[in-house]
Amino acid sequence: MKKRKAVVEVMQPRHHSGEIAANVERILLELGEDPSRDGLLKTPHRAEAALRFLTSGYHMNVEKLLNGALYAVKYDEMVVVKDIEFFSLCEHHLLPFFGKVHADYLPKNKVIGLSKIPRIVDMFARRLQLQERLTQQVAQTIMEAIEPLGVGVIVEAKHFCMMMRGVEKQHSGAMTSAMLGAFRHRKETRDEFLSLVSHSGMQF
């Protein structure tokens, strides 16, 4: 079966020309605000800086992020990193969604530095995203990086597009999962992973 490649396209950063700030100022005018008043005077530039940070994942790549932190080791039990906090922007409304990622893999010949998994999560979360895509990208990247027997990723998130607009349900959350290799094909492996993270409910 042909492997699916994770989306790891690296975009070249643009010069901070202030174009985003200028457009934010126009948006404020369209909303009926006065961008020259004290409270909004620097808002366009702050908004540009915030957006550039929140989408900085476009300018990151896996090889540089991992920086060789892959280690040959004889270990055949699960490696779980859970409760990884993340913040992202929904590509449909540019509103935040946030939550936790639980990542697990079953090593074959090597392991990855534990701190690298949260960094992988941040790389993909700091883009305009869908929760489903984020889940798959994290799982596929771990799979390609160390070629384990399997990878499992669960993402729990709250979406401001549901909480602040639309259905306006503040207590609703979404859960997505990606199961690759042994986690997809072996029920006992999948069940063990689910039992390890089942008590990690999101608290708000």
The one-character DSSP state at 93 is: T
What is the bridge-based pairing of β-strands 128-129 and 150-159? unpaired
Same domain, 90 and 130: yes
Q: What is the mean pLDDT of residues 136-145?
A: 97
34 — phi, psi (to 5°)? -110, 100
12 in any annotated domain: no
Write down the pLDDT at residue 45.
96
User: Which listed residue (131, 136, 137, 140) is catalytic?
Assistant: 131
Same domain, 118 and 193: yes
Annotated active-site residue 131? The verdict is yes
Same domain, 191 and 96: yes
Same domain, 114 and 43: no
Same domain, 76 and 171: yes
Annotated active-site residue 188? The verdict is no
Question: What span, in angstroms and rounded, lies between the C-alpha atoms of 39 and 36?
Answer: 8
Give percent of the chain above pLDDT 70: 86
Instruction: Find the range with the poorest average confidence among 54-68, 125-139, 165-179.
Output: 165-179
Q: What is the 3-state secondary structure (H, E, C) of 28-40?
A: HHHCCCCCCCHHH
Q: Is the pLDDT of residue 16 over 70?
A: no
Annotated active-site residue 168? The verdict is no
Q: Is the pLDDT of residue 204 over 80?
A: no
Task: Please give the single-letter amino acid code of residue 42.
Answer: K
Same domain, 179 and 131: yes
Last residue of one domain, picked from the residues 28, 54, 80: 54
Same domain, 48 and 85: no
Annotated active-site residue 161? The verdict is yes
Annotated active-site residue 171? The verdict is no
Helices (H) and strands (E) in the chain, counts: 8, 7
Q: What is the mean pLDDT of residues 137-158?
A: 96
User: Which listed residue (59, 93, 144, 192) is catalytic?
Assistant: 93
Same domain, 99 and 44: no
74: CATH:
3.30.1130.10
Annotated active-site residue 136? The verdict is no
Token pair belonging to 66: 């991992």
Annotated active-site residue 185? The verdict is no
Going by C-beta distance under 8 Å and a sequence separation of 6 or more, which residues neighbour residue 43? 24, 28, 35
Per the CB < 8 A criterion, the answer to whether 127 and 7 are in contact is: no
Q: How confident is the model at residue 164 (pLDDT cuts 50, 70, 90)?
A: confident
Locus of tokens 């993340």:
86
Locus of tokens 């063990």:
192
Same domain, 76 and 170: yes
Per the CB < 8 A criterion, the answer to whether 149 and 181 are in contact is: yes
Work out how many domains the chain is built from and give that number: 2
Per the CB < 8 A criterion, the answer to whether 10 and 55 are in contact is: no
**pLDDT tens sequence across 52-96:** 999 999 999 999 999 989 999 988 899 999 999 999 999 999 999
What is the span of the domain harbouring residue 36? Answer: 19-54
Task: Please give the single-letter amino acid code of residue 165.
Answer: R
203 in any annotated domain: no
Average pLDDT, the chain: 89
User: Which listed residue (19, 63, 85, 92) is catalytic?
Assistant: 92
13 in any annotated domain: no
Q: How confident is the model at residue 163 (pLDDT cuts 50, 70, 90)?
A: confident
Same domain, 31 and 108: no
| pLDDT higher at 131 or 13 | 131
Write down the pLDDT at residue 171.
66
Question: What span, in angstroms and rounded, lies between the C-alpha atoms of 162 and 78?
Answer: 35
Q: What is the mean pLDDT of residues 161-169?
A: 76
User: Which listed residue (25, 48, 90, 129) is catalytic?
Assistant: 90
Same domain, 79 and 162: yes
User: Which listed residue (85, 91, 132, 170) is catalytic?
Assistant: 91
Write down the pLDDT at residue 8.
47
User: Which one, of 89, 86, 84, lies nearest residue 102 by Cα?
Assistant: 84
In this prediction the pTM is: 0.86
Task: Please give the single-letter amino acid code of residue 93.
Answer: H
